[in-house]
Amino acid sequence: MIVYVMRHGQTNYNVMGLCNDDPGRDVRLTDTGLKQAQRAAEKLKRSRIERILVSQLPRTGQTAACINQYHDVPVEACAELNDIRSGFDGHPVADYFAAIAHDRLRAAVNGGESLLAHKERVRGFIEGLRERSEQAVLIVAHEETLRVFAAYFEDLSDEEMMALSIPNCEVFQFEL
CATH for 75: 3.40.50.1240
Per-residue pLDDT of the chain (176 residues; tens, 9 = 90+): 999 999 999 999 999 999 999 999 989 999 999 999 999 999 999 999 999 999 999 999 999 999 999 999 999 999 999 999 999 999 999 999 999 999 999 999 999 999 999 999 999 999 999 999 999 999 999 999 999 999 999 999 999 999 999 999 999 999 99
Q: What's the DSSP call for residue 173?
A: E
Q: Which domain holds residue 145?
A: 2-175
Cβ-contact 10, 176 below 8 angstroms: no
Compute the CA torsion angle 50, 54, 59, 64 (nearest 10 deg). 0
Q: How far is CA 136 from CA 128, 144, 153, in A?
A: 14, 22, 16
Q: What's the DSSP call for residue 6?
A: E
pTM as predicted: 0.95
Q: Report the number of distinct structural domains present in the chain.
A: 1
